[in-house]
A and B are shown apart, each in its own frame.
Chain A
Amino acid sequence: MTKIAVLVKQVPDTNSKIVISGDSVDLSSVKMVMSPYDEFAVENALRHKESVGGTVTAITVGGAGAEKVLKDAKAIGVDEIVRIDCDSYLDSNALQSILSSMIAEGGFEVVYCGKSAADTGAGSTGPGIAEHLGWASVSNITDSNSEGNFTVVAPLNDGNAVIEVTLPAVITCDKGNTKVRKPNVKGIMQAKRAQVDIRACEVPTSSVSVVSQSLPPAKPEGKMYEGGQSASEVARLLRDEANII
């Protein structure tokens, strides 16, 4: 019975507009969803379970508001849902310490997560917890196969490679050709009733702290042209004004 974990995070819907109030981002009126790459992580975790047997536990770190993404994962088919109760800012080392102790205690053998979260875009959590645990990791996989020896497809050098990974390992997931399953009515009903397992944690100190958040500097207004013939003028500007060609 393989114990599989999948890490999920709630982030603003990628369609949402980001507004700043004071010197930080104001998310109060933004719709929160599961980070897009985490959906591929859930899919890979469920496939892993289906081919070798075992359980899938979805884990998130956050306040009570973060439980929706756990319910979403439950609706698609994960077995257990766990929220590590911590609503304060965590730098990468603090977050990874919390997650890696939880994973070590839980006796998991393989951990899936998205290749990066759509809010920070950092992609540090997967490889970071693998290092904390002393495990192997492969990032940005586009496919996985857990029948027989566990292999993944990931970018390597100039192309892709089929890579055999010795478990325990952390696998971070890119989109590739992975089609994610959608929840069915039964799943949604089960998710509604499902109990979230809430765990307390000790919050380590962070050495990186956020000073400010702001909108990106506005681009100067561009030059607009009508008609295909103007492409020759644009080509000239790329040479004479932008000095690119």
Chain B
Amino acid sequence: MTNTIVIAELNKGSIHSTTKELVSAAQMLGSSCTVVVPCTDSSVADSISSTSGVEKVIVAKSDIFANYDASGWASAIDSVTPEGIIIASASPQSKDLAARLAARRKVSVVQDVVAIQDGKLTSPVYSGKAMQTVSMSGNAVISVRQNVFDASPDGGSAEVSVIDASGNVATAVRELIARASARLDVSEANIIISGGRGMGSPDNFSHLEQIADTLGAAVGASRAAVDTWDDIPHSMQVGQTGKTVNPNLYIAVGISGAIQHLAGMRSSKYIVAINKDPDAPIFQHADYGIVATWEEALPVLQSSLSAMM
């Protein structure tokens, strides 16, 4: 069987839970899974070494892992990563890294994998309007969407080695621009509540924020909302020219369900739509549809959810 190597996904200095999903994906593709942890502080790796299915953990320690630099990270990670099929998360940064790692090894990359069967990989194409299954001969680098595969359970004891990695950084950070809002970002959230043009004004997004606070959710928006109102930043936009999200629950409020919006959220596990127009296309994709204005529905939703928490 082929060796598999998982590149651990890091988030705010610790290993992101999707890394255990990557280990599950690795086990479908080969054996002897090694996890490579790119980090500045080797203690972050402790949390992954006891995951079932992980045989080896290689802690790649370097100052360059403080800030992402595509070429520097690719060379540093490549230098400590054994031969085999490399598996990374399909986050924007890790897709970029996956592409560079593949090119560095002169192999191909398959992005956004959502299913693995008999060594074949399936990914959404045409913004999720179709699925494509590919086969690979030899090694490749693949990226796997979050929240698709079950996390590999606890119950392993991998051998951990720490290697000082190095690479040449080709970019320099001149200024950090903090995110305008302290709210959870849509790309990190398990629950998202998004508003569209039907919200009427950006001030009305406060009703969505209240529900988001109750649920620990992020607030998203359609492009019409982002383009119409300066107060709704592009970082909130979900869809073709915004973010692609895959949460457990997506609540669309005052959003018609244009094909470009669906492109960013159609794979959500559960979709709730609130729209006053019974013919809005979003209802064809909703698990639960409420035909009502948001003015009527949101206060009821808010109080019912608060009562449950």
> Which residues in A have some Cβ–Cβ distance to B below 8 Å?
12, 14-15, 17-18, 20, 25, 36-37, 91-94, 96, 118-132, 134-140, 142, 151, 153, 155-166, 169, 175-177, 206-216, 219, 222-232, 234-239, 242, 244-245
Contact A153 B171 (CB under 8 A): no
Contact B95 A207 (CB under 8 A): no
Known pairs A25-B126, A137-B96, A230-B292. 11 more at Cβ < 8 A? A14-B240, A18-B126, A124-B99, A127-B97, A128-B99, A161-B175, A215-B129, A216-B124, A226-B292, A228-B300, A242-B287
What residues of chain A lie closer than 8 Å to B274, measured between beta carbons?
Answer: 231
Cα(A123)–Cα(B111), bound, Å: 8
Cα(A87)–Cα(B95), bound, Å: 26
- Contacts known (A138-B70, A207-B140, A216-B129); A122 close to B109, Cβ less than 8 A: yes
Cα(A106)–Cα(B234), bound, Å: 35
Name the residue of chain B whose CB is nearest to the CB of A17: B129
B1 at the interface (CB under 8 A from A): no
Q: Contact check: which of A18, A157, A164, A224 meets B171 at CB < 8 Å? A: A164
Q: Contact check: which of A140, A232, A245 meets B215 at CB < 8 Å? A: A245
| Between-chain CB contacts (< 8 Å), 26 pairs | A15-B259, A18-B126, A25-B130, A92-B108, A119-B125, A120-B125, A127-B97, A128-B102, A130-B71, A134-B71, A137-B100, A140-B96, A156-B67, A156-B176, A161-B67, A163-B171, A206-B108, A211-B134, A213-B132, A216-B130, A222-B283, A228-B300, A231-B297, A231-B304, A232-B304, A239-B308
Contact A207 B137 (CB under 8 A): yes
> Which residues in B have some Cβ–Cβ distance to A below 8 Å?
12, 67-71, 74, 92-93, 95-100, 102-104, 106-112, 120, 123-138, 140, 170-179, 185, 191, 215, 234, 240-242, 244, 248-249, 259-260, 263, 266, 269-272, 274, 278, 283, 285-293, 295-301, 303-305, 308-309
Cα(A159)–Cα(B108), bound, Å: 30
Tell me how far the C-beta of B300 lies from the nearest C-beta in chain A, rounded to whole angstroms: 4
- Contacts known (A136-B71, A225-B290, A232-B300); A92 close to B130, Cβ less than 8 A: no
Tell me how far the C-beta of B76 lies from the nearest C-beta in chain A, rounded to whole angstroms: 13
What residues of chain B lie closer than 8 Å to A137, measured between beta carbons?
Answer: 70-71, 96, 100
Contact A207 B136 (CB under 8 A): yes
Contact B179 A158 (CB under 8 A): yes
Q: Contact check: which of B12, B293, B299 meets A158 at CB < 8 Å? A: B12
Contact B131 A211 (CB under 8 A): no
Contact A124 B102 (CB under 8 A): yes
Contact B289 A222 (CB under 8 A): yes
Contact A128 B100 (CB under 8 A): yes
Name the residue of chain B whose CB is nearest to the CB of A124: B99
- Contacts known (A142-B234, A231-B298, A231-B301); A121 close to B92, Cβ less than 8 A: no
Q: Contact check: which of B108, B132, B170, B272 meets A169 at CB < 8 Å? A: B170
What residues of chain A lie closer than 8 Å to B127, measured between beta carbons?
Answer: 14, 118, 121
What residues of chain B lie closer than 8 Å to A166, measured between beta carbons?
Answer: 170-171
What residues of chain A lie closer than 8 Å to B170, measured between beta carbons?
Answer: 135-136, 165-166, 169
- Contacts known (A14-B240, A234-B272); A139 close to B283, Cβ less than 8 A: no
Cα(A142)–Cα(B177), bound, Å: 13
What residues of chain B lie closer than 8 Å to A219, measured between beta carbons?
Answer: 285, 287
Q: Which interface residue of A25, A122, A129, A224 has the most chain B CB atoms within 10 A?
A: A122
Tell me how far the C-beta of A152 lies from the nearest C-beta in chain B, rounded to whole angstroms: 9
Closest 4 CB pairs of A and B: A228-B296, A136-B170, A131-B103, A235-B304
Contact B108 A93 (CB under 8 A): yes
